[in-house]
């Protein structure tokens, strides 16, 4: 029996509220059960130096957790003067996942930065960030198309993510924190709209 009472292959309820901030070109609040993430997308007419002049666009991501997104207060990473290794790894994952659904030629030489800020964490924050991040990216690109700044839609496929793992000896879908903290195996699966797998991340403790 799962702590939440869900079936083994049952996801948490997912809701996405769009256009939740005033200034960002694209924004949404995604809720996967009790995991809530604010995702915003910002369009900039510049690209990183390593692709400047190439005609290619770039999509990148930043990730963070609010101090009281967890059961006890976390210290802000800014207070320590540097990002933790987990944060860097997660935001790189989000960026890679989103770029898998983008035609960077059609995007043109501009950058879209997707910021994912965890308001409340109950497992699966990176999966929620990827799914919500794509929605924010979609909304931002819609504005480019509407303004005539680009002609061809650069988003070639939706991108979404979900976790799977082994909890109490059983394979389960979409782990929440009580399951994630005790899982023998935990994996994140990122896919395009056609079911093509983009990336998987897996780790295990004593169950391999």
pLDDT digits (tens, 9 = 90+) for 82-110: 788 889 999 999 999 999 999 999 999 99
Residue 188 has pLDDT above 90, yes or no: yes
pLDDT at position 205 is 75
> Where is 113: in which H helix or E strand?
strand 111-120
Q: Give the residue, 110 or 205, on which the prediction is more confident.
A: 110
Distance CA 41, CA 56 (A): 18
Average pLDDT over residues 61-81: 90
Residue 70 has pLDDT above 90, yes or no: yes
All domains in the chain, ordered by first residue: 14-68+83-204 (3.30.230.70)
Average pLDDT, the chain: 95
pLDDT at position 207 is 60
Residue 147 has pLDDT above 60, yes or no: yes
Which residues are CB-contacts of 83 (< 8 A; sequence separation ≥ 6)?
77
Alpha carbon 40 to its chain centroid, in Å, reads 11
Distance CA 60, CA 75 (A): 25
188: phi then psi, degrees, rounded to nearest 5:
-115, 130
Task: Sheet containing 58-65: give its strands across.
Answer: 14-18, 26-32, 35-44, 111-120, 58-65
Q: Give the residue, 140 or 81, on which the prediction is more confident.
A: 140
Average pLDDT over residues 2-11: 96
What share of the chain has pLDDT > 70, as a percent? 99
**What pTM does this model have?**
0.95
Distance CA 54, CA 56 (A): 5
């Amino acid at each position: 029996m799962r702590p939440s009472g869900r079936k083994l292959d049952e996801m948490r309820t997912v809701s996405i509220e769009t256009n939740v901030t005033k200034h960002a070109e694209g924004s949404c609040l995604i809720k996967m059960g009790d995991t809530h993430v604010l995702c915003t997308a910002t369009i900039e007419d510049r690209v990183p130096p390593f692709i400047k002049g190439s005609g290619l666009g770039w999509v990148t991501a930043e990730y963070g957790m609010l101090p009281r997104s967890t059961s006890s207060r976390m210290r802000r990473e800014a207070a320590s003067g540097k990002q933790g290794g987990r944060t860097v790894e997660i935001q790189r994952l989000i960026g890679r996942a989103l770029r898998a659904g983008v035609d960077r030629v059609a995007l043109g030489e501009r950058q879209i930065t997707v910021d994912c800020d965890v308001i409340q964490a109950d497992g699966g924050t990176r999966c929620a960030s990827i799914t919500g991040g794509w929605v924010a990216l979609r909304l931002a690109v819609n504005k480019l198309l509407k303004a005539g700044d680009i002609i061809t839609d650069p988003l070639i496929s939706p991108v979404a993510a979900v976790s799977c793992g082994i909890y109490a000896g059983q394979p389960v879908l979409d782990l929440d924190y009580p399951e994630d903290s005790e899982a023998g195996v935990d994996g994140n699966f990122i896919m395009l709209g056609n079911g093509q797998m983009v990336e998987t991340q897996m780790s295990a403790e004593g169950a391999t």
